[in-house]
Amino acid sequence: MRLYSDIDKPQENGERGLVLVFFIFVLVILLALAGLAIDAGNLYYSQLQLQKAVDGAALAGIGHSILERNQASTTQITKISIETRARLVLLENIKLSNLSLSGTAGNPHIEFDEGSATLKVRATAAVDYLLMDSVPFFILGLKQTAASGSVAAFASVRRATANVALILDVSDSMECPGSGSCDCKTPMRSGSCAEEAAANGAKQRIYDLQQAVTAFVGEFDQNRDRISLIPFNVVAAVREPLRDKKAPTNNRGFVPENFNNALLGLAAASNTNHCDGFFRAYQDALRAHIVNNRDPNDDEEMTYLFFTDGAPTAARLLLTSPTALPVNTSDLGVYDYLHLTVSLSGKDSNNVIRRLDIPSQLIPMSDKITLGTKSSALVPNVNAPLCSAYDGAGGNPFVPSDKPLPDNAEGYISVLDNCLADFGFHMPHRTRPKYGSNYGPGKSKSFGDFAEQYYNCAVQASDFVREHRGTVYVVGLGPAAASANLSNPPDPYQDTADALSRKDNLLIRLARDADMRSGQESQFPDYSFGEIDPLNPAASATNSKWHDFGASRIAPRYGRYAHATDSAQLTEFFLYIAARIKLQLVK
Amino acid sequence: MKHKQSLITSQERASALIEFMLVLPIMIIVIFLGIEFSRALYHMQLAASLSHQAANLAYRDCVGDPAGNPRTADQISEITGTENRKQIERCLEARRQIVQGVANRMAPGSVITVSLYRYDEGNKSAARFPSVPARSAFSWKDPEEGIVASSKSESSLFSRSHLLAGEAFIRFETALSGIWEIVGGAPMEFYDALVL
């Protein structure tokens, strides 16, 4: 009997050495596989490094063009300078990662296109093979591989279109000299504010502000970016609107000349109404289809640059009737800006009665009330029709009977534009017979009772615009803080004797400056949007506090707050914010 | 005789077993190396990604900060801290913390640094704000020519003669790293950096 092990032994049948031949073939294949693994990994890693280098170069190039404002000369940042900086950063990064650029012509290729403000960087690098080139493919009859492979990377960055609303305080204190005391506003004045400023060797604040605005506007591209000018004191008005994005022509850009002297024709007077400024700017952005335009492909954002030199001392309290002011402060909640809604009911195009609740923050600010120019004092236009004139039969209090009830934001704007003379202003410093005799100095109601509302209104306004794709930057103008300890700032702004002395905490909160937390943020309510119920998102969208019209629910956009103590700093901060706006728009 | 003849003798079985026992440790090591190599590749990629994010975030948010922007060339040469600089330091440190938090979740024991370097022709290179001084490994020698030209006339902290470096030291822990460290080896780290 023979066992398996006795028969078919290769040695006995003259087949010795078979395994060795097999082994050599298989060895080549094994080496090839190992080489593939190792060199592919190496190539992948090198490509990663090169891509990083190229991305960094593109960002640095664009960033350089934005940041490098050579104050010593007036030369513009040129295409060459951008490309040079990108190239230098690319080379530094390549050195860092031990790559080497391949010697082919046009490598690296760096190009800045001024028309679209796009910087493109393309580079290829040669990577030596570690194992692949020494695998003996010739044994199998195949070609050897080259000594090195190459990897390529490409990056493209552009600065997106900037949409900026300049919301500027032109209240009474802006007439003061830019430095020194402000006697011209007191009974002890010996001359006008302009004379006092000249005597101090300074200019008036409004003039300094104008300089800052002119410098700011000069940093943007007049053919691509949109800028609006919204001065405010007790009311806000749009001096220079944003160009309408949906217009067929002329939908971008601005006219620099319109900004150069815009503020100097205004009278700095009256109170400071922060929230009117924000809402007016939002309304203008809405009209220009920058925000809430419901276009999923739209990625343009809105920026608000808010400037003030003092505390908020006015807000628009929504009153259904000028004489219906509450007697008790506890009734104030019923009437205040923040929670009141206006109900419209009327018939739509199908003759169906529909009811709409418009949250108060969308009540537009009327054009009928203008900021006083130097030749006329601030007066509301008493000839504007009152909303009550539309009461009556037909059930259409605000809408002309031949138009359907609007269900979009543009409709609301036009519907309510006529009625705003009926909404009163609250200025408790002065007694107005129109509002009854309870208000004013020495009366039962005083400034402190309402100041909380002015602050909260400003916070609400900034939270609102922030949640509709906006970022808020705030510049405050005031005397230097006594202490440089930024973690406990004293209050440097106007009305420091006021009981609610938290002005620069307010400004930090308005900007939502993440780096300058003062620890006082909890003093202000949070008016961010309500939660979305993940199980029923459609329902919670309509239930949300603010009747969302399609705002994106993303994390809040943090802005910046800067405190300027004199005119030079004011201009510098405006320029810094211009640079920052542009840098944040680099995509 | 009816009983089956086995094709493999017991002696062959025994020797197969012993051969397998010899091969087993080698096999385990090879498999282990394969797994660890993939993990290592992931950590290397993490180093690249986090250093990129740190540099990007710090550059976009902290450059051109007015409080950190000295207005005269003299102030650039100050090494000791001033109020002006603290704003920038705070900003850089806040961004570093964000990325450090990510690194702590992905690879505990890692260090992220964000540092601002100014090229000083006397000293060859000086790190102005090395955010984690003991760890910053980027040394800026032989900068490219265009970078340091006319550095004295600039008044901006983030300008031609400055570089922002984001570095990541990602700790790689293997199954045997405990033993390795007892023996006296240093913890294995993957390093990557991006300069802007």
Q: Are residues A475 and A517 in the same domain?
A: yes
SS3 B196: coil
A52 vs B contacts (CB less than 8 Å): 48, 51-52, 194
Q: Considering CB atoms only, which of B64, B67, B144 is closest to A92? A: B144
- Quote the tokens at residue A186: 């007191």
Record the pTM.
0.70
Asked if B119 and B148 count as a contact pair (C-beta separation under 8 A), the reply is yes
Minimal-distance CA residue of chain B relative to A558:
B61
- State ipTM: 0.80
% of residues, chain B, pLDDT over 90? 14
Q: Which of A158, A177, A200 is the last residue of a domain?
A: A158
Residues A154 and A167 placed together within one structural domain of the fold: no
Residue A18 domain flag: no
Residue A212, helix vs strand vs coil: helix
Asked if residue A130 and residue A176 are part of one domain, the reply reads no
Cβ contact A56–B195 (<8 Å): yes
Q: How far is A579 from A571, CA to CA, in rounded Å?
A: 12
* Nearest-Cα residue of chain B relative to residue A52: B52
Per the CB < 8 A criterion, the answer to whether A564 and A475 are in contact is yes
pLDDT at A212: 92
- By residue range, what is the domain housing residue B38? 10-195
Closest partner residue to A93 (CB to CB) among B86, B154, B194 is B194
Tell me the shortest Cα–Cα distance from A52 to chain B, in angstroms. 7
Chain B residues touching A91 at Cβ < 8 A: 144
Asked whether residue B24 is domain-assigned, the answer is: yes
- Kindly identify which residue of chain A lies nearest to residue B163, measuring between CA atoms: A89
Instruction: Based on the fold, state whether residues A281 and A416 are members of the same structural domain.
Output: yes
Cβ distance A85 to B160 less than 8 Å, yes or no, reads yes
Q: Is A582 touching B (CB cutoff 8 A)?
A: no
Taking the C-alpha atoms of residue B152 and residue B142, their distance in angstroms, rounded to an integer, is 18
Note whether A109 and A202 are same-domain residues.
Answer: no
Instruction: Please identify, among A123, A158, A193, the residue that sits at the C-terminal boundary of a domain.
Output: A158
Q: CA of A395 to nearest chain B CA: how many angstroms apart?
A: 53
What's B26-60 look like in SS3?
Answer: HHHHHHHHHHHHHHHHHHHHHHHHHHHHHHHHHHH
Measured between alpha carbons, how far is B76 from A509 in angstroms, rounded to an integer? 31
How far apart (Å, rounded) are the C-alpha atoms in residues A494 and A478? Answer: 7
Cis peptide bond prior to A108, omega within 30° of 0: yes
Q: What is the pLDDT along chain A (587 residues), one digit of tens a residue?
A: 655 555 555 555 566 667 888 888 888 888 888 888 888 888 888 999 999 999 999 988 888 777 665 333 334 557 777 888 888 889 888 888 888 888 777 788 888 887 777 888 999 888 888 888 788 888 777 777 778 888 899 999 888 889 999 999 988 788 888 776 677 777 766 777 778 888 878 888 888 999 999 989 988 888 889 999 998 876 677 888 999 888 888 888 899 998 988 877 676 766 777 877 887 888 788 888 887 666 667 778 899 999 998 777 766 544 333 333 333 333 332 223 333 333 444 444 565 555 444 443 333 333 333 333 333 322 333 443 333 333 322 222 333 333 333 343 333 333 333 333 333 333 332 222 223 334 334 444 444 445 566 676 787 778 778 877 789 999 988 765 543 333 344 444 544 333 334 566 778 888 887 666 555 555 566 655 444 444 444 554 444 333 333 333 445 577 888 878 778 878 888 888 887 787 777 77
Residue B52 with chain A: CB contacts under 8 Å: 52, 55-56
Whether residue A13 is contained in a domain is answered as no
**A579 → closest Cβ in B64, B138, B163:** B64
Range of the domain at A274: 163-584
Q: What would the pLDDT profile of B111-137 be if each residue is shown by its tens digit?
A: 998 888 776 666 666 677 777 777 777
**Is A48 part of the contact surface with chain B (CB cutoff 8 Å)?**
yes
Residue A521 lies in a domain: yes
Alpha helices by DSSP H, listed for A390-446, are: 409-416
Question: Which residues lie across from A120 on neighbouring strands?
Answer: A111, A156
In terms of Cβ atoms closer than 10 Å to its own Cβ (0-12, 13-18, 19+), residue B162 is buried
Chain B residues inside the 8 Å CB shell of A97? 192
What is the C-alpha to C-alpha distance for residues A118 and A112, in angstroms, rounded to an integer?
6
Tell me whether residue B154 is in a domain. yes
User: Which neighbouring-strand residues pair with A266?
Assistant: A373
**Which tokens is A338 given?**
């923040």
Taking contacts as CB-CB distances below 8 angstroms, the residues of chain A near B90 are: 515
Does the distance separating the beta carbons of B196 and A89 come in below 8 Å?
yes
| CA neighbor of A285 nearest in space, from A113, A148, A166 | A166
How would you classify the pairing of strands A470-477 and A353-359? unpaired
**Does residue B5 fall inside a structural domain?**
no
* Of A308-322, B100-114, B169-183, minimum mean pLDDT range: A308-322
Does A38 touch chain B if contact means CB atoms closer than 8 Å?
no
Chain A nearest-CA residue for B144: A88
CA-to-CA distance for B171 and B107, rounded, in angstroms? 6
Q: Do B63 and A576 touch (CB under 8 A)?
A: no
Average confidence (pLDDT) over B76-93: 56
Q: What is the rounded distance in angstroms from the CA atom of residue B157 to the CA atom of residue B144? A: 19
CATH number of A396's domain: 3.40.50.410
Contact A149, A119 (CB under 8 A): no
The Cβ-side half-sphere exposure at A276, using a 13 Å CA radius, reads 34
Domain presence at residue A180:
yes
Q: How many domains does chain A have?
A: 2
